[in-house]
Amino acid sequence: MEGAKREIYEETGCKVEITGILEIINEILEGVNVVCFFFDTKIISENIKADGEEISNVKWFTYEEILNMKDKLRADGYFLSSIKNKIDNKIQSMEIINCIRK
């Protein structure tokens, strides 16, 4: 979880608190086992700057706007499914992570 918060900060300039799990995916892609965690977060602080190299522009979207532009996104169904879980308030407790660690 610390890695997720650090990556969010490095990519966006936002410091966040992880508040829950939207989805956990375990899938074999090209012979490699890939596990993805989709976290629900709360923004603690933000200092967003588009650096022009990795990020060319920054804009906030509502969840509904993202779902409506799904054909334009480089996103798979899991990303969109996670947004639907957020809209439907299907957020799992962080306790599920403690179960996985054991």
Write the pLDDT tens digit of every residue in 13-41: 899 999 999 999 888 989 999 888 999 99
Q: Are 40 and 58 in contact (CB under 8 A)?
A: no
Q: Are 73 and 38 in contact (CB under 8 A)?
A: no
Query: Residue 102 — pLDDT band, cuts 50, 70, 90?
Result: low
Distance of CA 81 to the CA centre of its chain: 11
Domain ranges, ordered by start, for the chain: 2-94
Range list of β-strands (E), the chain: 14-29, 32-46
Alpha-carbon gap, residue 29 to 7, rounded angstroms: 22
Tokens, residue 53: 């190299």
User: Would you give the DSSP letter of residue 4?
Assistant: H
pTM over 0.85: no
Q: What is the mean pLDDT of residues 59-80?
A: 83
Percent of the chain past pLDDT 90, that is, above it, reads 39
Multiple choice CATH, 2-94, 3.90.79.10, 1.10.1660.10, 2.40.50.1020, 3.20.20.70: 3.90.79.10
Q: What is the pLDDT of residue 75?
A: 65
